[in-house]
Amino acid sequence: MKMKVCRKAHFNAAHRLYRKDWSDEKNFQVFGKCSNPLYHGHNYELIVGVIGDIDPETGFLIDLKIVKQYIKEEVEIPFDHKNLNEEVAEFKNLNPTTENIAIVIWNKLRNKIPAKYDIEVTLYETPRNFVIYSGGTN
């Protein structure tokens, strides 16, 4: 029986949306106030879904304590209260858009969560703006 279980987490981080090869004017044109050279921050809400079959022995799909630990190690510790552009290696040459942050998180968790499970990352940048990523071609 396929099911999805979810774990919710939270982190705060600053970022700047911009391309180094563009002028400040063009960056502002494309990214608006999110291209502020002095950065800006968000209170990100993260939902990690794990999809698979329920283990008939335990009644669990996966022990969510394990998922909680992976989120802490792979997302909360490296991202929380950080400047994503300056302090997180994955974003040194990758624009930290919500889309790219979700893909990075998915990849980090995919390396931890056993392959027998599918995973889905939902990342809220604001209460109204969010992305959902479930893998695929990057």
Residues 75, 108 contacting (CB under 8 angstroms): yes
> Of 10, 18, 130, which Cα lies nearest the Cα of 85?
18
- Among this protein's residues, is 57 annotated catalytic? no
The answer to whether 81 is a known catalytic residue is yes
Q: Which of 15, 74, 120, 125 is catalytic?
A: 125
Q: Which two tokens stand for residue 133?
A: 């990523």
Q: Phi and psi for 50 in degrees, rounded to 5?
A: -120, 125
Do the Cβ atoms of 44 and 89 come closer than 8 Å? no
Among residues 6, 10, 73, 81, the one annotated as catalytic is 81
Q: Which of 34, 45, 87, 90 is catalytic?
A: 34
Does 15 qualify as catalytic in the annotation?
A: no
Residue with tokens 């889905």: 120
Active site residues: 34, 81, 125
